Amino acid sequence: MTAAGRRIVCFGELLLRLTAPGRELLLQSPRLDVVIGGAEANVAVGLASLGHATAMVSRVPANALGEAAIGYLRRYGVDASAVTTGPGRMGLYFLSPGAGLRASEIVYDREASSFAQSTAGDFDWDRLLEGAALFHISGITPALGPQSAEMAIAAAEAAAARGVPISFDGNYRAQLWQRWPSDPRTILTQLVGKADILFGNHRDISLLLGAEFSGDGEGRRREASEAAFAAFPRLRLIASTARHVVDADTHRIAARIDSREGAAQTEEVAVSGIVDRIGGGDAFAAGILHGVQSGRDLDWTVRAGLAVTALKHSLPGDASLFAPRDIDAFLAGELDVRR
């Protein structure tokens, strides 16, 4: 586990997710199910469930919606003392869950949220990063706009200057980047340049480096990883999943970690009867960081990451709520009722 007294600090926007009930289209009937979400918050909750001390840094409106988001974090053991309030509104996103051969669809409504209106000067990183074991951030924050991009870069620079390892999940969201005259490659390159751990695959690395990688499967991923290690001297691990979507109910997923010395790769597992795939990538990040912070080797860590992401597909909501015993049971193939 993370060393006693040291926290994993996650920074990003807290959101409300409004989901069409069952497998309906949005507003097919006049109802929506509501859960708290947000990529970085999902990682914080997932890691807290795995026994790590975590803290969330964010900003929400001073109303019942913001209070609900803070209460949600506290309910699952995340330190929410650095979630402040400010002008603006709660960010929202709407989900129409997929069914059969119809893919899930997301609509964002995040303009002028309290978090998006925040600036780099609103966060005292000397205090917020004191005693931190790891700092986790994603590519969603800089995609919100130029002010948020400056805020994300300032946060990463503050962590790097203080010697706090940085975990960065690319989380490329085209809908967000396309809303403004953005330069994703330049911005994301600055962030990855500060990172020790990158969650991303060969496509993410292609975006960063402006390069194409030949071959298929493992060879292409290794080529991309070696190019990223050469371009970003701080990087020490790159973790990714490969997902084959059969239909909305059945996916085949494999996981991989690349280090500078080599790689660990899992076999593909079939994930069927999917309840909710949203947050699967955040669950994978939580599983990988659990292995890293627990001092496990790459082989165990990549299998733990696959375990948590596969299990997340069985759970409604944005975040993984699984404990270490659930990883152990998954790796042991225990599928029957535990009595």
Name the residues annotated as catalytic: 282
Q: How many residues are recorded in the chain?
A: 339
Q: How far is CA 207 from CA 190, 201, 210, 224, 263, in A?
A: 13, 10, 5, 11, 22
The radius of gyration of the chain from alpha carbons, rounded to an integer in Å, stands at 19
Where helices occur in the chain by DSSP H, the ranges are 39-49, 64-75, 125-128, 140-143, 146-161, 174-177, 184-192, 202-209, 217-231, 280-293, 298-312, 324-331
Q: Reduced to 3 states, what is the DSSP secondary structure of residue 331?
A: helix
Structure token digits, residue 285: 């990040």
CB–CB of 208/185 below 8 Å?
Answer: yes
CA distance 81 to 56: 8
Task: Tell me if residue 238 falls in helix, strand or coil.
Answer: strand
- The values of phi and psi at residue 37, to 5°, are -145, -165
Alpha-carbon torsion angle 44, 49, 52, 57, nearest 10: 20
* CB-CB contact of 73 with 60 (8 Å): no
> In this structure, how many other beta carbons lie within 10 angstroms of the beta carbon of residue 158?
19
